[in-house]
């Protein structure tokens, strides 16, 4: 069984972070160094992302089992679990399936509802990159720019470009599997599942992923949830307002 790759920093109670779609644990490095003053931080790469293993199969049940294997392997218990976006979906499903392992749950800018697939332009852009032709990071960026006007999104995706061998660039994520399984990413948390532990939902003030309409659904699945808004931040709230994000998390964790 492949164990997920992670970076572990700090010491104390185990605090696990799950990144979003096309991301990796390293996206959380600077916040993890701050949290690491109080907790043992595990920055995890989920399957088909970062330095973790690639697999054709990709859905939330599998990602939950990957996480369970990871926790067993590292002999962790009574964890704090934080997930952003896709990682938030994994974290929610993990908490309802393994409530005895999770002490506190934090979900960043995603709700339990179904989301329409909306990464088609990004997938089109990534699939248009041909590493036999696009042989420098600059060339890869110029190719992505044809599809993705937002510089921030391009920079985020370019973090996944690395030298697989001398003269040969590649993506760290498993693009083929992510493309084929894109419809899995927006799946809703199964009906009639719940987690009674303390839960914090963090919504980006400029994001529409969590709206007032979602509050009843959040409460149905997570009766002990509280929802806070991180101002001056969109969907990547931890990167756009790290100070506000850090303060809300620390206040919740007491």
Beta bridge partners of 48: none
CB 195 within 8 Å of CB 222? yes
Instruction: Work out the angle at residue 17's Cα, subtended by the Cα atoms of residues 222 and 224, and round it to the nearest 5 degrees.
Output: 15
Nearest to 118 by CA among 37, 209, 190, 44: 209
**Catalytic residue at 54?**
no
Q: Which of 5, 19, 235, 238 is catalytic?
A: 235
Residue with structure tokens 């679990």?
81
In the annotation, is 183 catalytic? no
List the catalytic residue out of 6, 52, 85, 111.
Answer: 85
Nearest of 2, 78, 72, 82 to residue 42 by alpha carbon? 82
- Assigned token pair, 5: 């790759």
* CA–CA separation, 114 and 92 (whole Å): 13
**Angle in degrees, CA 61, 64, 67, rounded to 5:** 155
Alpha-carbon dihedral sign for residues 69, 71, 77, 79: negative
Task: Point out which residues pair with 84 in neighbouring strands.
Answer: 108
Residue 229, both tokens: 């808004």
Catalytic residues: 85, 235
């Amino acid at each position: 069984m492949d164990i997920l790759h992670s970076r572990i920093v700090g010491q104390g109670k185990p605090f696990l972070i799950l990144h979003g779609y096309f991301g990796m644990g390293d996206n959380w490095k600077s916040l993890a160094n701050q949290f690491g003053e109080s907790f043992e931080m595990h920055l995890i790469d989920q399957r088909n992302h970062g330095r973790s293993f690639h697999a054709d199969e990709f859905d939330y049940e599998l990602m939950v089992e990957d996480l369970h294997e990871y926790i067993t392997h590292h002999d962790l218990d009574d964890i704090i679990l934080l997930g952003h976006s896709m990682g938030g979906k994994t974290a929610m499903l993990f908490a309802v399936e393994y409530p005895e392992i999770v002490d506190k749950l934090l979900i960043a800018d995603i709700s339990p509802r179904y989301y329409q697939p909306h990464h088609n332009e990004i997938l089109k852009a990534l699939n248009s990159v041909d590493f036999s032709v696009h042989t420098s990071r600059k060339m890869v960026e110029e190719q992505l720019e044809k599809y993705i006007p937002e510089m921030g999104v391009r920079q985020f995706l370019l973090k996944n470009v690395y030298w697989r061998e001398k003269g040969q660039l590649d993506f760290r994520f498993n693009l083929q599997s992510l493309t084929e399984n894109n419809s899995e990413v927006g799946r809703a948390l199964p009906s009639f599942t719940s987690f009674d532990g303390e839960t914090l939902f963090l919504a980006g003030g400029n994001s529409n992923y969590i709206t007032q309409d979602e509050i009843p659904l959040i409460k149905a699945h997570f009766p002990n949830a509280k929802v806070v808004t991180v101002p001056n931040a969109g969907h990547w709230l931890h990167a756009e307002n790290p100070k506000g994000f850090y303060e809300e998390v620390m206040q919740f964790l007491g």
